[in-house]
């Protein structure tokens, strides 16, 4: 304290100031001193007083300390003192543990005081931002107090501080840097800080996960020795649990990052399992919880299935089964391992098959399931261990029809092996043992072997039990009812009733077997009608449920116990209202609500084990249906059955129309596809035709051009040849030319006469006509008109029928929506009947029209035959006409050829005459006189050509 007086400026002699006065002077010194050393000494003094005078320092010095953090950023020593002082203010002294009630009250007051100072500090969000900035300082005396202060703030006001850090830029990233600090004390306190930061805040959990937290935490766990590590491993595992629990995004990120595979080395336990430390047990317990978080039944089915698959593929499940069958493992670790294996195999067919193949290291080897069931029915085993084994067995049978069949098969006479203990034998032994908890566990386990499996329910009816020597065997169903009637404990009765309800529900054959025993129904009615104590009310409710199942799933095959007779029996001996009230006792029970929350059986004491999770689902499903079945009268049931039949008929009609519409839709779709295909083919053909047409046109143009060129060449060749002959013509050749000329003239006359004959023949053919069949055609046309008229009437009738059918279908839809109201249903039925009568009348008229059409069609066929005969005659004459026309065309062609020949002959004659003229011969032909002027011009041209040739 002498140091404090020196700072304050007083000596310890004389009257000493109070603590409040001293703190006030220190605060003034912090606020007014210009020298850094004075402020530093004052803050150090406040730190030493902050624990004893927490209230005074927090009230008077907090604002000054925050100002120091803002202004004196360059001096790490004063920053460290200020942070330590703030930590002492907001954090109560946890080292002193209270021993009595007075100290407890004092501790509570200190906690409240810390919450008040925390609220005052975070009232300004900038203070948290300032603290996050100071955490970037690497100096140990600043960073470590800052981490502790922020952790204390989170413990006191978690949600508010989380909100400020979440909106602070890079706030979470700065805190994640603490895990990379080389100083272990800062890294370890950083783990504690992140634990508080990630509690209950999904957004911060996601940010921390994406800041590579998983990788860093797993590295720290390996560095610290995995399960053999110390408290640091525990802190890492707690932080991982915070990040993954109830956070599907982080769970998916953990799985996708292949971090599940890195968990396998955690569970590599050696052969020597003696001497487990408390820390190792804690670490391994947290590791198993971490595995369970990934495959918890509350997760989405898809995420759970993918994690289960990854755990099997990486060998994690195999490693857990090794721990399960190992010796020397502590009881709590063994129990948690069983629960973990249970959820890893729950609903996964591959994992369930592997678990069924696991054997215990015994001689001879026994299946792991048998070994676990031996522990479940052994009353000397711990209660939590027996509950874990039951949960494991339930998870093994969950959605596993193959496993259910294998368990039931061990009870059947044909598969029982007297030399080995089977699962079925253990269940039967537990079912009829003196321990009520074994009775309950065995009954629930056997019920899970029948869950949602009608085949195994029927198979279990074949099981026969040998009760004692000299007596015939009884069925398992009968033995269960016998134990019920013998006045067993409540827990045993509840277990057997749950088994029976699960067994006979949705199984009419099992109901018939149950009712076949004449003592069962009187026993149930007697239990329900009695006024029993509070503990027996649950048994009464389950008896009511069992009797209700016998009514609801009754197929009326037993004359004495039909649905109606059982309902009359309830009304006479129990009363319907009383029956429904007793049935409601089940869902109102506290233990029922607790069991309905989650699949794992979690009970504090064995006496609280009354309900199974899957059975609560069955009760919820059946309670309403049984209540309606019991309260309904026989007339209401008949009406309901009639309504059901009517609805079924309507449904069948609607189904037929739907099928017809589907067929038509399919046909329309096929036709649309065909139209589309043909359209595309047509477009392709059109394109091909267009291309071919263009090619043909090009070829025609090329042909015309070549023809013109060839004509010019031939003309030039002929002119040159004629000129050559004229120049070298001899007198003896003139007579030959005259003879040729005369011959050509005769041919010309002959061709002209033939042409005249052909023209006359063409004219005569044009004037002739072809006989027609107009009379027959007119009669057929009249018949066709009459048939078309009848077809139009038939189409109108068909349209009206279609309209009636559509109205009927609309009424059927309306009747479906109002089938629950008898009056409206009757109105719709009358309308449907009226429409059906109109439809039948229209159908009869349509049949009549079809008959008339058929008669007219027969007349039409007869007339068409006559028309065909007339048409054949006309076709013959038409063929002759075509033949004659073809001959005419040929004659015309020959005539054209003759004309061309005549033209050529005329040209040759003219040329020959001209040559004769040039040679001095006289020409007496009249044509020569007419064409003399024409040849004068030609002579001039020839002279010019001869002169040019001579020049050449």
Q: Rounded CA gap, 665 and 673, in Å?
A: 12
Count of CA atoms in the C-beta half-sphere (13 A) of 400: 25
**Mean pLDDT score, 92-113:** 57
Q: Does the pLDDT at position 74 exceed 50? A: yes
Measured in degrees and rounded to the nearest 5, phi and psi for residue 572 equal -80, -45
Q: Does the pLDDT at position 237 exceed 90? A: yes
Which three-class secondary structure string do you get for 461-524? CCCEECCCCCCCCEEHHHHHHHHHHCCCCHHHHHHHHHHHHHHHCCCHHHHHHHHHCCCHHHHH
Greatest mean pLDDT among 145-149, 225-229, 750-754: 145-149
Q: Does the pLDDT at position 938 exceed 60? A: no
Residue pLDDT, tens place only, 894-916 = 778 778 888 888 888 888 888 78
Residue pLDDT, tens place only, 807-818 = 556 655 554 444
Q: Rounded CA gap, 27 and 35, in Å?
A: 14
Q: Rounded CA gap, 359 and 365, in Å?
A: 6
Q: Rounded CA gap, 901 and 754, in Å?
A: 13
Q: Does the pLDDT at position 830 exceed 70? A: no
Contacts of 249 (CB under 8 A, 6+ apart): 202, 206, 209
Task: Give me the sign of the Cα torsion angle 385, 389, 395, 398.
Answer: negative
Confidence category of residue 412, pLDDT binned at 50, 70, 90 = confident
Dihedral of CA atoms 69, 70, 75, 79 in degrees, nearest 10, equals: 10
Whole-Å CA distances, 696 to 334, 707, 709, 893: 94, 16, 20, 25
* Helix ranges restricted to H, 377-435: 383-397, 401-409, 423-431
* Least confident window among 40-49, 81-90, 906-915: 906-915
Q: Rounded CA gap, 875 and 631, in Å?
A: 89
Q: Rounded CA gap, 405 and 773, in Å?
A: 88
Q: Rounded CA gap, 205 and 254, in Å?
A: 12
Measured in degrees and rounded to the nearest 5, phi and psi for residue 465 equal -120, 135
* Contact assessment for residue 283 and residue 237, using Cβ atoms and an 8 Å cutoff: yes
For the purposes of burial, counting CB atoms within 10 Å of the CB of 423, is it exposed (0-12), middle (13-18) or buried (19 or more)? buried
Q: What is the pLDDT of residue 20?
A: 79
CA-nearest of 300, 297, 410, 384 to 345 is: 297
Q: What is the pLDDT of residue 681?
A: 87
Residue pLDDT, tens place only, 674-702 = 888 888 888 888 888 888 888 888 888 88
Q: What is the pLDDT of residue 947?
A: 47
* Contact assessment for residue 451 and residue 459, using Cβ atoms and an 8 Å cutoff: no
Q: What is the pLDDT of residue 145?
A: 92
For the purposes of burial, counting CB atoms within 10 Å of the CB of 2, is it exposed (0-12), middle (13-18) or buried (19 or more)? exposed
* Contact assessment for residue 85 and residue 50, using Cβ atoms and an 8 Å cutoff: yes
Whole-Å CA distances, 395 to 228, 297, 584, 614: 30, 10, 29, 11
Contacts of 729 (CB under 8 A, 6+ apart): 915, 919
* Contact assessment for residue 287 and residue 237, using Cβ atoms and an 8 Å cutoff: yes
* DSSP secondary structure, 751-799, as one string: HHHHHHHHHHHHHHHHH------HHHHHHHHHHHHHHHHHHHHHHHHHH
Which three-class secondary structure string do you get for 214-229? HHHHHHHHHHCCHHHC
In DSSP terms, 366 is beta-bridged to 360
Share of the chain above pLDDT 70, in %: 76
Mode of pairing for the β-strands spanning 366-367 and 359-360: antiparallel
Contacts of 88 (CB under 8 A, 6+ apart): 47, 50, 51, 54, 57
Structure tokens given for 828: 């719709």
Q: Does the pLDDT at position 508 exceed 50? A: yes
Q: Rounded CA gap, 89 and 64, in Å?
A: 13
* DSSP code of residue 378: -
Q: Does the pLDDT at position 535 exceed 80? A: no
CA-nearest of 37, 45, 157 to 90 is: 157
pTM of the complete model? 0.65
Q: Rounded CA gap, 265 and 281, in Å?
A: 16
Q: Does the pLDDT at position 380 exceed 70? A: yes
Q: Rounded CA gap, 712 and 325, in Å?
A: 114
Q: What is the pLDDT of residue 891?
A: 75
Task: Give me the sign of the Cα torsion angle 588, 593, 595, 596.
Answer: positive
Greatest mean pLDDT among 134-143, 387-396, 760-769, 923-932: 387-396
């Amino acid at each position: 304290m002498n140091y404090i007086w020196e700072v304050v400026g007083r000596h310890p002699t004389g009257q000493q100031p109070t603590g409040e006065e001293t703190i006030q002077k220190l605060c003034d010194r912090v606020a007014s001193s210009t020298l850094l050393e004075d402020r530093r000494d004052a803050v150090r003094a406040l730190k030493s007083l902050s624990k004893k005078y927490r209230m005074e320092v927090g009230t008077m010095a907090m604002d000054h300390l925050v100002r120091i953090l803002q202004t004196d950023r360059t001096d790490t020593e004063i920053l460290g003192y200020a942070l330590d002082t703030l930590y002492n203010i907001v954090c109560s002294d946890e080292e002193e543990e209270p021993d009595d009630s007075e100290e407890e009250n004092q501790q509570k007051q200190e906690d409240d005081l810390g919450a008040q100072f925390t609220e005052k500090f975070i009232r300004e969000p900038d203070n948290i931002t300032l603290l996050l900035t100071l955490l970037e300082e690497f100096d140990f005396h600043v960073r470590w107090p800052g981490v502790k202060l922020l952790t204390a703030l989170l413990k006191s006001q978690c949600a508010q501080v989380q909100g400020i850090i979440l909106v602070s830029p890079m706030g979470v990233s700065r805190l994640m840097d603490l895990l990379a600090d080389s100083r272990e004390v800062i890294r370890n306190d950083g783990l504690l800080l992140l634990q508080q930061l990630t509690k209950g805040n999904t957004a911060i959990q996601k940010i921390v996960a994406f800041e590579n937290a998983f990788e860093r935490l797993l590295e720290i766990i390996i560095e610290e020795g995995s399960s053999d590590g110390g408290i640091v491993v525990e802190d890492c595992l707690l932080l991982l649990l915070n990040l993954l629990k109830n956070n599907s995004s982080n769970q998916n990120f953990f799985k996708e990052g292949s971090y599940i595979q890195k968990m396998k080395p955690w569970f590599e336990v050696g052969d020597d399992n003696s001497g487990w430390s408390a820390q190792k047990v804690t670490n391994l317990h947290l590791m198993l919880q971490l595995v369970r978080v990934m495959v918890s039944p509350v997760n989405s089915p898809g995420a759970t299935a993918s994690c289960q698959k990854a755990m099997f593929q990486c060998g994690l499940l195999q490693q857990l089964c090794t721990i399960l069958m190992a010796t020397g493992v502590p009881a709590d670790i063994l129990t948690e391992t069983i629960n973990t294996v249970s959820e890893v195999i729950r609903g996964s067919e591959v994992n369930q098959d592997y678990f069924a193949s696991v054997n215990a290291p015994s001689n001879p080897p026994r299946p792991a399931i048998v070994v676990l069931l031996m522990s479940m029915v052994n009353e000397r085993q711990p209660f939590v261990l027996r509950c874990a084994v039951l949960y494991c067995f339930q998870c093994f049978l969950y959605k596993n029809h193959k496993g259910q069949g294998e368990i039931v098969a061990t009870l059947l006479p044909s598969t029982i092996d007297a030399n080995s203990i089977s699962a079925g034998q253990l269940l039967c032994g537990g079912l009829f043992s003196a321990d009520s908890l074994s009775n309950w566990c065995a009954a629930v386990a056997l019920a899970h072997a029948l869950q949602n499996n009608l085949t195994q329910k029927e198979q279990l009816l074949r099981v026969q039990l040998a009760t004692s020597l000299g007596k015939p065997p009884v069925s398992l169903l009968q033995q269960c009812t016998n134990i019920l009637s013998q006045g067993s404990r409540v827990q045993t009765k509840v277990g057997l009733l749950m088994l029976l309800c699960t067994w006979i529900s949705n199984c009419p054959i099992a109901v018939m077997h149950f009712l076949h025993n004449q003592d069962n129904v009187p026993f149930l009615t007697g239990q329900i009608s009695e006024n029993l104590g509070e503990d027996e009310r649950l048994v009464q409710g389950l008896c009511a449920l069992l009797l209700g199942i016998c009514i609801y799933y009754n197929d009326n095959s037993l004359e004495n116990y039909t649905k109606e007779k059982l309902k009359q029996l309830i009304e006479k001996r129990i009363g319907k209202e009383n029956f429904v009230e007793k049935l409601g006792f089940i869902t109102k029970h506290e233990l029922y609500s607790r069991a309905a929350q989650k699949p794992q059986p979690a009970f504090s004491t064995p006496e609280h084990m009354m309900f199974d999770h899957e059975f609560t689902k069955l009760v919820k499903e059946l309670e309403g249906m049984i209540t309606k079945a019991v309260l309904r009268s026989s007339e209401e049931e008949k009406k309901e059955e009639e309504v059901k039949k009517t609805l079924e008929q309507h449904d069948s009609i609607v189904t037929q129309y739907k099928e017809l519409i589907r067929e038509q839709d399919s046909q329309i779709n096929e036709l649309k596809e065909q139209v589309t295909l043909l359209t595309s083919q047509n477009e392709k053909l059109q394109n091909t035709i267009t291309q071919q047409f263009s090619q043909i046109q090009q070829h025609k143009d090329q042909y015309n051009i070549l023809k013109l060129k060839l004509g010019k060449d031939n003309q030039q060749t002929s002119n040159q040849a004629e000129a050559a002959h004229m120049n070298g013509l001899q007198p003896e050749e003139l007579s030959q030319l005259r003879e040729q000329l005369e011959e050509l003239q005769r041919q010309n006359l002959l061709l002209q006469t033939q042409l005249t004959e052909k023209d006359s023949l063409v004219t005569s053919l044009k004037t002739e006509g072809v006989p027609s069949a107009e009379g027959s055609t007119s009669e057929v046309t009249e018949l066709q008109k009459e048939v078309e008229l009848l077809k139009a009437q038939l189409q109108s009738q068909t349209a009206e029928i279609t309209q009636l059918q559509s109205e009927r279908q609309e009424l059927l839809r309306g009747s479906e929506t109002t089938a629950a109201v008898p009056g409206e249903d009757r109105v719709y039925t009358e309308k449907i009947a009226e429409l059906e009568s109109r439809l039948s009348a229209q159908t009869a008229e349509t049949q009549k029209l079809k008959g008339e059409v058929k008669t007219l069609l027969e007349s039409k066929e007869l007339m068409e035959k006559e028309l065909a005969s007339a048409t054949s005659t006309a076709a013959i004459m038409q063929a002759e006409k075509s033949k004659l026309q073809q001959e005419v065309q040929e004659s015309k062609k020959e005539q054209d050829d003759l004309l061309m020949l005549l033209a050529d002959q005329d040209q040759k004659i003219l040329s020959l005459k001209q040559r004769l003229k040039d040679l001095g011969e006289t020409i007496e032909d009249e044509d020569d006189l007419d064409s003399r002027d024409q040849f004068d011009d030609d002579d001039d041209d020839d002279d010019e050509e001869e002169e040019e040739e001579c020049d050449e």
